[in-house]
Structure 1
Amino acid sequence: MDLMRAARLHIPSHTLTIEEVPKPAPGPGQVLIAVAAAGVCMSDVHLIDGTLGRPPHLQGDTVTIGHEIAGTIVELGPDVIQFQEGQRVVLQAGDVKNGQLHTRGVDFDGGWAEYALAAVESVFPLPDSLPFEQAAIVPDAVSTPWDAIVRTAAIKPGEAVGVWGVGGLGAHAVQLLRAVGAFPIIAVDPTPGARRRALDLGADLALDSADPAFREQVLAVTKGRALNAAFDFAGVSAVHEQALTVLAPEGRLILVGLSGRPLVVHDSTMFSYLKHEIRGHFGTELDAVPKLVDLAAGGRLDFSRSITDVLPLEKAGVAVERLQTKEGDPLRLILKP
């Protein structure tokens, strides 16, 4: 039996270990990928620490973690004709099974491993011009804010937008909001390094959420109009409260960061009077990843500044700790088997 190395998470004990496990074989409608790069996401951290709870579709108690994956096809399932061995590809962050979306590295084995299985519907060709490390983060780190912006929030050119939390998702949201013509773009983060990064990526203003003059600065840069939309990429209750205080009439608050905590509207009368909306967002539609790959390959988007560091698979625990403690202010860390 062929074996491979994989980072395995034992859900009940929150234990992550590098183990030797059987190398999978592709079945009908599947391909086997030799993983070249796998992203480390805050949702991986929250899965490990138990914040996200037990995966709803996971069979058993252990899973190979990782949902951001790029690599090369090394084996085709018996009926697969649309791909070929040796082809560079990037994987969607999930597969549809029995009509339901199952998240890779959560509900079934993911890409913190030497090899990963994928249904052909979730596999997209990758041009040679886009490095594996940059391509790997497109599913989720880029595609999730993209869908939150263009689908859930339906941002229009010229709309004033706030981005709370300039980490892996929020930093890309700043770039994407600029690409779709939002103005002004206000980034909000308590970390000085994150605020500097936001300005480098195209934010028009970067504010500390604890600034006593926060509301006044938002109103000043929007010429008194306040925000048409506010994105919470942090998953923090205080963000919801603050964002609602600077939303314009009919403004919408988009919840992207996951917290598992109650959502509270303190002034329901004002919320109704201003016709505010709160919209939840999760994941991405299937067409987002190939569209974003094309935009990057065509020079419309640049992810070269997104990769903070590349670590070997054996350092998966170190990568998780660095992301959790924000050591070195990482934007995205990549594991390389």
Structure 2
Amino acid sequence: MERMRAARLHLPDRSLVVEEVDRPVPGPGEVLVKVEAAGVCLSDVHLIDGTLSPMYLEGDAVTLGHEVAGTVAATGPDVTGWSPGARVVLQAGEERRGRTYTRGVDYDGGWAEYALATASTLVALPDTLSFEQAAIIPDAVSTPWAAVTATGDVRPAEAVGVWGAGGLGAHAVQLLRAVGAYPVVAVDPAPAARERALEFGADLALDPADPRFGEKVLGASGGVGLAAAFDFAGVPPVREQALTVLAPKGRLVLVGLTDQPLTVTDGTLFSYFQQRILGHYGSESHHVQQLVRLAEGGRLDFSRSITDVLPLEEAASAVRRMETKEGDPVRLILRP
């Protein structure tokens, strides 16, 4: 059995260790992918610190990494349409027995030299799109894309707000601009995050503690309020603030995760204005395919999202940088 390096999370003590493991062998319907780039996400940080835990993992250790791009190394029996050397990006998860399994959480992911994938989770990658940019499309880009185009159903010229301009939120700003939303208001307490939001296309970037916050949002939206507000922070005060500047029939889309209660301070006004609160999680396979196509056609560029590329051995350092926001990263990439 051939061996490979992998960054493994051992759940009993939440330790992350780069170690040698057996290289997987593709079975029926499976493809072995040589990993060229794998994204580091805050979800990985939360898996390590214990905030998140796998729901369907068999065993007590898992190779992290749900944002993965590479080349086909080998195919299992009955796999057609894929040949060694083909450039691919992997969906961040798949459906099994009516449940959603997440790569790098419920089964081994891409923080390794090789990753095993069901053939149906592969998306062809054009030569014009780098592995680094492609790797972050599942989740970092596809999650806000699905939130904007599906759950939020944003239309051209609608006023929108984005709370939290980190990795997902910054991409949401870029994508909202791409679909024609106007104005796009970004909200974040960190000056560096607000500056980044403006670079990604926000028309206005506000500190949530600004005493004239509501006045400025109403001014930017022509006195009507926001047609859609997106919470990428997962913080209860964010949701309460967003509701105060929501337009009649506006929708609040909850993307950031929290186990804290959701409160509507004035339920009468909420009902009178026929507003809506919508939960959102992840994306579907066609969202990744759409984004690859748009990037191939030059409609979207994710090059500024790649803050740094690190070797696999520095996985722990990458996690620390994401957790402490050292260097204000959008996305860090591991290269085995």
Measured against the shorter chain, the TM-score band is over 0.9
Q: Which residue of 2 aligns with 1:266?
A: 265
2:307 and 2:314 map into 1 onto residues whose CA distance is 15
1:65 and 1:261 map into 2 onto residues whose CA distance is 26
Q: Which residue of 2 aligns with 1:50?
A: 50
Q: Which residue of 2 aligns with 1:77?
A: 76
Secondary structure (helix, strand or coil) at the match of 2:304 reads: coil
Q: Which residue of 1 aligns with 2:4?
A: 4
TM-score (normalised: structure 1): 0.98
Q: Which residue of 1 aligns with 2:29?
A: 29
**Total equivalences in the alignment:** 336
Q: Which residue of 1 aligns with 2:17?
A: 17
Which of 136-145 and 191-200 deviates more? 191-200
Quote the offset at 1:272 in angstroms: 1.6
**Alignment of structure 1 residues 117-136 onto 2, 5 Å:** 117-136=116-135
**Alignment of structure 1 residues 144-163 onto 2, 5 Å:** 144-163=143-162
Q: Which residue of 2 aligns with 1:252?
A: 251
Quote the offset at 1:81 in angstroms: 1.3
Which of 255-264 and 197-206 deviates more? 255-264
Q: Which residue of 2 aligns with 1:300?
A: 299
TM-score (normalised: structure 2): 0.98
1:190 and 1:143 map into 2 onto residues whose CA distance is 25
Q: Which residue of 1 aligns with 2:102?
A: 103
* Identity between Structure 1 and Structure 2 (%): 66
**C-alpha contact (below 8 Å) 1:15/1:48 kept by paired residues:** yes
Quote the offset at 1:11 in angstroms: 2.1
Quote the offset at 1:17 in angstroms: 1.0
Quote the offset at 1:197 in angstroms: 1.0
Quote the offset at 1:260 in angstroms: 2.2
**C-alpha contact (below 8 Å) 1:227/1:248 kept by paired residues:** yes
- Any gaps of 5 or more consecutive residues in structure 2? none
**C-alpha contact (below 8 Å) 1:51/1:260 kept by paired residues:** no
2:47 and 2:164 map into 1 onto residues whose CA distance is 19
Quote the offset at 1:56 in angstroms: 1.2
Quote the offset at 1:50 in angstroms: 1.3
**Alignment of structure 1 residues 168-317 onto 2, 5 Å:** 168-317=167-316
Quote the offset at 1:297 in angstroms: 0.8
2:289 and 2:25 map into 1 onto residues whose CA distance is 25
- Any gaps of 5 or more consecutive residues in structure 1? none
**C-alpha contact (below 8 Å) 1:126/1:293 kept by paired residues:** yes
Secondary structure (helix, strand or coil) at the match of 1:35 reads: strand
Q: Residue type matched to 1:308 in 2? A: T
Secondary structure (helix, strand or coil) at the match of 1:291 reads: helix
1:222 and 1:206 map into 2 onto residues whose CA distance is 13
**C-alpha contact (below 8 Å) 1:51/1:259 kept by paired residues:** no
Q: Residue type matched to 2:177 in 1? A: R
2:46 and 2:235 map into 1 onto residues whose CA distance is 13
1:107 and 1:274 map into 2 onto residues whose CA distance is 41
Secondary structure (helix, strand or coil) at the match of 2:153 reads: coil
Secondary structure (helix, strand or coil) at the match of 1:36 reads: strand
1:151 and 1:110 map into 2 onto residues whose CA distance is 27
Quote the offset at 1:237 in angstroms: 1.1
Aligned-residue CA RMSD in angstroms? 0.9
